[in-house]
A and B are shown apart, each in its own frame.
Chain A
């Protein structure tokens, strides 16, 4: 039996919730959200710390509160939800194959799909840490779920590898719950976490941050981590012999990056950007398959959920336009390219017909800069420039390109950053 819906949203985290609500408001009345967990809200449910919502709600909320507000909004709509349901595949003609205990194997068809599967943590295997393979090595997000949702304490003496926000947040969380966090170790000469998290998660509890260091050995001969060896690295990120430090610990938490979760997208044949590991998208968040949209961390990893919400609302509205037959179609008028010091842009393609007043472009720089100028060039001509104070790879940048300026551009639009002389 095939079930039909106007819109299917895959993933009930912040991105999926915002996309579904926005599509509903724009008139789509047959929407289904498919979520693999038992409840909506996604990873926000385990992010019990505060700092969410300052941009969107103008107040400081915890993760569950932020998710709760959208879940409440969703319950005021007629959006249908299937939790505990795993999507196995999606196809180019917008079939969704899913399975759960109640309905069994389902084939669902939709006029439009929004992909909001979020992202996944990199693991020990992804970065190849040498040493034994004892228990006690886990990703920071897994530890966060154990502690905050399931109520298990994951360790007593902890070393954290990576200074991404989740690692920093877990350093504080473990400390508050009585563990001793011995060190936070970061390969790069700077932290990828937000400054505020270094202050309130490390400095507040006197946890040392070792920049330009990495774990070079994990020792655990009897089933559990016993100690780790930490070494300084040179400018090529290679360990420097003779700089080894030992930490006696029972737990290693990894906060070494997030990767958009695109198994479904890839198998559907959606074009993936190697730089973001997410789908290549147009300004309205449409992927290379017409009618399939994507938003949130599945497209590129965001620092703030507020921006996920904004991007997902755009995707939801665009899906509504697609269903109504009123969206821009066809190929790209403009392709965005990365110039100097720019790691990626989202969107990667722009259709002028899809741009209302301006197109918002997210990007990340590839180094820490005290100040700089963002230059937007096309055909050898500068069409816009933006001054910025303090830019870092850990902080996503956003510029608005007015439609009038984009109309002057042709073919490729290159976004680059020029560092101001210190």
Chain B
């Protein structure tokens, strides 16, 4: 059994958490989201990926995108490879799906800007 110390990244407040990696008890959080973050960080750390993909027919050549939900941390770089394969054609609306079910995670990659 070990206590893992970490800083919650759910919001800019950055609470200092202590998570028991066996009982998954979280201390130091000031909101329920912090508890969830602490538990997940020990069992299945995830991150929202934000990046850009190629776009044609818009004012600029890059369309900003994000994963609609956090994806497993070890998949981040693999996901970047998948993004490099995509070219989107304007017009695009905010929230429009760019890649459905990214790498089988069940999470969509969506546009974050109207272009």
Contacts and interface: CB of A to CB of B under 8 A. Distances in A.
A194 to B, nearest CB: 5
B11 A62 contact: no
A199 B94 contact: no
Contacts of A194: 12, 14
A121 B77 CA distance: 30
B80 A65 contact: no
B62 A149 contact: yes
Given A48-B50, A149-B60, 14 more contacts: A49-B50, A54-B12, A61-B112, A62-B50, A64-B112, A148-B52, A148-B62, A149-B62, A150-B60, A150-B62, A151-B62, A176-B77, A194-B12, A196-B11
Given A38-B59, A151-B61, A68 B12 contact: no
A389 to B, nearest CB: 9
Given A64-B64, A68-B114, A149-B62, A50 B50 contact: yes
The residue in B7, B49, B61, B112 that gathers the most chain A C-beta atoms within 10 A of its C-beta is B112
B7 A199 contact: yes
A48 B112 CA distance: 8
Contacts of A195: 7, 9, 14
A6 interface: no
A194 B11 CA distance: 10
Contacts of B64: 48, 62-64, 148
The residue in A63, A65, A200 that gathers the most chain B C-beta atoms within 10 A of its C-beta is A65
B12 A39 contact: no
B100 interface: no
A207 to B, nearest CB: 14
B8 to A, nearest CB: 7
Interface of B: 6-12, 14, 47-52, 54, 59-62, 64, 66, 73, 76-77, 80, 94, 112-114
Contacts of B73: 204
A212 B80 CA distance: 33
B8 A196 contact: yes
Given A148-B64, A176-B76, A48 B51 contact: yes
Contacts of B10: 196
A251 interface: no
Contacts of A199: 6-7, 9
A61 B54 CA distance: 21
Contact of B11 (A45, A54, A150, A151): A54
Nearest to A194: B12
Interface string A44-67: 010011110010000011111100
A: contact size bracket: 20 to 34
The 7 A-B pairs at the shortest CB distance, nearest first, are namely A195-B14, A64-B113, A196-B9, A48-B64, A62-B112, A151-B61, A195-B7
B109 to A, nearest CB: 12
Contacts of A235: none
Nearest to B64: A48
A135 B7 CA distance: 37
Contact of B113 (A49, A65, A147): A65
A178 B66 CA distance: 18
Interface string A331-374: 00000000000000000000000000000000000000000000
A304 interface: yes
Contacts of A204: 47, 73
Contacts of A65: 94, 112-113
Interface string A191-209: 0001110111000100000
A68 B113 contact: yes
Contacts of B9: 195-196, 199-200
29 contacts: A38-B59, A39-B59, A45-B113, A48-B52, A48-B66, A50-B66, A54-B11, A62-B50, A64-B64, A64-B94, A64-B113, A150-B61, A151-B52, A151-B60, A176-B49, A176-B51, A176-B77, A177-B51, A194-B12, A195-B7, A195-B14, A196-B7, A196-B9, A196-B12, A198-B7, A199-B6, A199-B7, A204-B47, A304-B12
Contacts of A198: 7
A273 interface: no
A129 B83 CA distance: 37
Interface in A109-141: none
A356 to B, nearest CB: 27
A303 interface: yes
Contacts of A176: 49, 51, 76-77, 80
Contacts of A148: 52, 62, 64
Nearest to B79: A176
A39 B80 CA distance: 27
Contacts of B94: 64-65, 68
Contacts of A177: 51, 80
Contacts of B6: 199
